[in-house]
Amino acid sequence: TSRRNRQPGLSTRAIHLGYDPATENGALTPPIYMTSTYAFETAEQGSELFRGERKGYIYGRTKNPTQTILEERIASLEGGETAIALGSGMAAISGTMLSLLDAGDEVVIDHTLYGNAYAYFTQALPRWGISVKLADFTRPETLEAALGPKTKLVYFETPANPNLRVIDIAAVAAIAHAHGAEVVVDNTFATPILQRPLEHGADIVLHSATKYIGGHGDVLAGLVVGRAETLQKVRQTGLRWVTGATLSPFNCFLLLRGLKTLELRVERHSSSAMKVARLLEGHAKVASVSYPGLESFAEHEIAKRQMSGFGGLISFELDGGMAEGMALMNRLELVTRAVSLGDAETLIQHPASMTHAIYSAEEREKHGISDGLLRLSVGLENVDDILDDLERALDSL
């Protein structure tokens, strides 16, 4: 397309969209509005704001000018109408579900989710009369079978935490929409740089912005993107009085800062992860490697079609299973033993006893989360240093 009518790129929008320094004394970076409440010029204007007859700010729990810029930017990057920032990824999930679901509703979830998301759906929602069914979303026929007349929405992650399973968003959306169910996708692992679920038919996309979007291991946050009408419900109920899980203006500033380099960082995470995956795939001590960029990866074809890169997460297992996996983790010197992901630091963790310990052993077995599985978040260090640390530790086993 000619230069004139092309939409600005992802990084250009992440750096500039929704903020004009001229409106803030020329300040190049958006001010942090550290205020919990806003003065009304007149009593009538206050009442009009509450009635929604006037645009403006009332109170920090649901809106803040720094937060507004962040919400406009992430909505643009994901290709959605509007977005909401919340206090964590779990707040984004619970704020959305508790706004959209009522007792008696059903949801269908993929069987591989982040541990606490899995617990939320299988242990929390049923307490409020919302029934949850599981299906293997990589096999659409099992999803079809799980959908019923009361299914309000389907929920999944792709790539999924922790084994990187890739799900065909468009295929799932076609089946869900045929049954009148909405599609909610957790896009934490890929980020809008590598995939935009709304473009494939999803209705809502959400993030643990704690990860790649913050990108520096220094903020916990969640983001939800979708149609204005749906998100209004999430803001006015899920955020405002169901969870009250407000994100601080300072943390909105940290996410705005992270967004500026998101594309750059995701490209580096991905290129380094490809090299690390190749090293692991070729090492005698490694029994299996799951990385969407490997030809050997089960859903490599879908990943190639659906994603513009393969991300920074790798999961793998050693011949010696869990015991050898724990030994490997303890012998690493640069790679850091820690949960979370998407940080500048390369992190390694053991899902079965850490992020997915909340699954029962049989659930883990059934859902492809083996006891020996390790999950590696490849960071931004010079890749040769990451490779050397892994190879030296592996060779020493």
By beta carbon distance, the residue nearest ligand 4LM is 89
Q: Which residues are catalytic?
A: 61, 114, 186, 211
Return the closest-CA partner of residue 107 out of 72, 58, 164, 150: 150
Give least dist CB 208 to ligand 4LM, A: 3
* Bridge partners of residue 313, in order along the sequence: 377
Distance of CA 386 to CAs 312, 313, 376, Å?
A: 13, 14, 11
Return the closest-CA partner of residue 63 out of 231, 229, 220: 231
Nearest-angstrom CA–CA distance, 48 and 232: 18
CB closer to ligand 4LM out of 145 and 357: 357
Q: Identify the H or E element spanning 258.
A: helix 249-260
Return the closest-CA partner of residue 95 out of 124, 123, 115, 122: 124
Distance of CA 314 to CAs 270, 288, 317, Å?
A: 10, 11, 10
User: Which residues would be at the binding site for ligand 4LM (CB under 6 A)?
Assistant: 88-90, 114, 117, 157, 161, 186, 188, 208, 210, 220, 222, 339-341, 355
Contact between 162 and 375 under an 8 Å Cβ cutoff? The reply is yes
CB closer to ligand 4LM out of 73 and 375: 375
CB closer to ligand 4LM out of 19 and 374: 374
Q: Phi and psi at residue 310, in whole multiples of 5°?
A: -115, 5
Give least dist CB 83 to ligand 4LM, A: 16
Give least dist CB 71 to ligand 4LM, A: 17
Give least dist CB 88 to ligand 4LM, A: 3
Report H helices in 18-112.
43-50, 65-78, 89-100
- Tokens standing for 375? 């999950």
CB closer to ligand 4LM out of 19 and 380: 380
Helix, strand, coil in percent for the chain, rounding step 5? 45, 15, 40
Contact between 232 and 204 under an 8 Å Cβ cutoff? The reply is no
Return the closest-CA partner of residue 64 out of 27, 95, 30, 13: 30
Nearest-angstrom CA–CA distance, 323 and 320: 6
- Tokens standing for 272? 């380094």
CB closer to ligand 4LM out of 65 and 370: 370
Give least dist CB 160 to ligand 4LM, A: 8
Nearest-angstrom CA–CA distance, 52 and 337: 49
Give least dist CB 148 to ligand 4LM, A: 26
CB closer to ligand 4LM out of 93 and 277: 93
Question: Cα 186 to chain center, whole Å?
Answer: 5
CB closer to ligand 4LM out of 222 and 258: 222
Give least dist CB 116 to ligand 4LM, A: 6
